[in-house]
Amino acid sequence: MITLYELTGADVARRFSPYCWRIRMSLRHKGLPFEGIAWRFTEKDRLAPAGSQFVPVLRDGDTWVHDSMAIAEYLEATYPDRPGLFGSPHGAALARFVAAWTDRTVQLNASRPILMDIFSCLHPGDRDYFRTTREKRFGKRLEEVCPDPQAELPSFRLLLEPARRVFGKQAYLAGEAPNYADYALYGTFMWWRMTSRLPPFEREDIMSSWLARMDEACDGEGRRALAAAGMQPEG
């Protein structure tokens, strides 16, 4: 049995880590049964067997793997008869680029407008940890990082232009069906919508259409998870 350690808030239905979502979707994509285990920021000792301080951590029998890209590659190599996450070696190389772009561009800038929403949904025992690490990262008090989230949305949305362009021509980043490249970007918006009610996109934005399609991917995994957390996407 595969076990996936997933970051949660005070409500364990709020699985909000963008990197854990990449793996949750990947496991569904490959049709591999697994158990998702709720984990909190401060429970570092539970990840010790993986040699990691952060999730996602995956346990498959006696094998522990950490880091989302390493886990995706492990799953692909270990279960080659299941549906592929990358399509081809070229596809894997380029999916790595999409993941890096998401990390460095989208993820980094998305964290500002939803920062206080994330803080609010944390388990009380995680709040000091989150405040200390994030205040160090941003160099200011949490409350001062983004005093007007609404005002930052236009510049954030502009960062998605490269994705928007391709969605004029294809349904998914990976083409006609989603794969790891789409899950990498989707993770950011599961993180966003699991913690915040601020709409990441305007309704008529082509990004909203992609997000709605992604919510239905893998038997509606994302849609059902948002509903279970009481964070229903707009219809």
Contact residues: a copy of itself, CB under 8 A: 86-98, 100-101, 103-105, 161-163, 165-166, 169-170, 172-176, 179, 181
Q: Which is nearer to a copy of itself, 147 or 168 (CB)?
A: 168
What is the DSSP pairing of strand 34-39 with strand 2-7?
parallel
Cβ at position 139, least distance to a copy of itself in Å: 17
Cβ at position 66, least distance to a copy of itself in Å: 16
Residue 187 CA to residue 182 CA, distance in Å, equals: 9
Cβ at position 112, least distance to a copy of itself in Å: 17
Cβ at position 103, least distance to a copy of itself in Å: 8
Q: How far is CA 151 from the centre of its chain?
A: 23
Alpha helices in 10-123 (DSSP H): 18-29, 68-78, 89-101, 108-110, 115-121
Residue 5 CA to residue 58 CA, distance in Å, equals: 6
Q: Which is nearer to a copy of itself, 12 or 159 (CB)?
A: 159
Burial class (CB in 10 A: 0-12, 13-18, 19+), 20: buried
Q: Which is nearer to a copy of itself, 46 or 164 (CB)?
A: 164
Q: Which is nearer to a copy of itself, 48 or 93 (CB)?
A: 93
